[in-house]
């Protein structure tokens, strides 16, 4: 298990006003969270004060992540790849630019995201929960999950980690939100609208070890 950084190139490109997120008069934090956790229009394409504010495909944005992952992991010429929490499938779509022969699959809990995904890969995406993956053991040459597992309650997090380990072979990667100090913890609490697992890196490593997860990981910090 290694800590790998595939995501900071995107995460650090966004400017955040943490206090404005909490104190907005129209969408105060609690209201924004109530709307976001429905995983529908408001979460993906509603007001920026709720969450993404319009989650649209941007040429090349996710390709740099896909390329970094493809270059790091030793994959066969026609790898089977799974994205747990795939959203609209943008990263999977860009994986096909890097590895055109890949068999891609995605799973997400949001029916809205899947209805508004990249049309070219719509048939490869499934509605479902990370706690119950509809694939056989050792199916995938690469399994990854980005910004999803911290949205799970403890009773689901255990099961989801075990499921990810089960369906993947040797190459697995998780990216989750975390904090290293009180300032980052405060910023995370202010900014997030869907997070349920508020863990330090040490706590995340405890989860990984106790659930038998053997893959790689990285953490997103709100500095």
pLDDT digits (tens, 9 = 90+) for 105-160: 999 999 999 999 999 999 999 999 999 999 999 999 999 999 999 999 999 999 99
Per-residue confidence band for 21, with pLDDT thresholds at 50, 70 and 90: confident
Does any domain span residue 70?
A: yes
Q: Which SS3 state, helix, strand or coil, does residue 103 take? A: strand
Place of tokens 């529908």: 40
pTM of the model: 0.95
Assign residue 212 the CATH number of its domain: 3.40.50.150
User: Does residue 55 form part of some domain?
Assistant: yes
Task: Determine what percent of the chain is predicted with pLDDT higher than 90.
Answer: 90
Domain count, the chain: 1
Q: Does 3 reside within a domain? A: no
- Domain assignment of residue 2, yes or no: no
In a domain, 78, yes or no: yes
Q: Is 200 domain-assigned?
A: yes
Say what the pLDDT of residue 98 is.
97
- Pairing label, strands 103-108, 125-127: parallel
Question: Which string of b and e fits 102-116 if b means at least 16 CB within 10 Å?
Answer: bebbbbbbbebbbeb
- Per the structure, the complete domain to which residue 13 belongs is given by 8-220
């Amino acid at each position: 298990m290694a800590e790998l950084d595939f995501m900071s190139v995107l995460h650090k490109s966004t400017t955040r006003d943490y206090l404005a997120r909490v104190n907005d008069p129209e969408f105060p934090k609690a209201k924004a969270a109530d709307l976001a956790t429905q995983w529908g229009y408001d979460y993906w394409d509603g007001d920026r004060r709720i969450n993404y504010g319009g989650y649209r495909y941007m040429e090349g944005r996710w390709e740099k992540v896909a390329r970094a992952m493809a270059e790091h992991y030793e994959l066969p010429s026609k790898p089977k790849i799974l994205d747990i929490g795939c959203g609209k499938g943008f990263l999977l779509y860009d994986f096909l630019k890097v590895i055109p022969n890949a068999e891609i699959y995605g799973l997400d809990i949001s029916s809205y995201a899947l209805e508004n995904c990249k049309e070219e890969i719509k048939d490869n995406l499934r509605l479902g929960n990370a706690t119950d993956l509809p694939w056989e053991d050792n199916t995938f040459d690469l399994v990854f999950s980005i910004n999803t597992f911290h949205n799970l309650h403890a009773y689901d997090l255990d099961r989801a980690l075990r499921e990810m380990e089960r369906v993947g072979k040797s190459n697995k990667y998780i990216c989750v939100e975390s904090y290293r100090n009180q300032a980052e913890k405060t910023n995370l609490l202010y900014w997030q609208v869907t997070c349920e697992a508020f863990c330090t890196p040490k706590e995340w490593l405890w989860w990984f070890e106790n659930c038998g997860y053997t893959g790689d990981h990285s953490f997103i910090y709100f500095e």
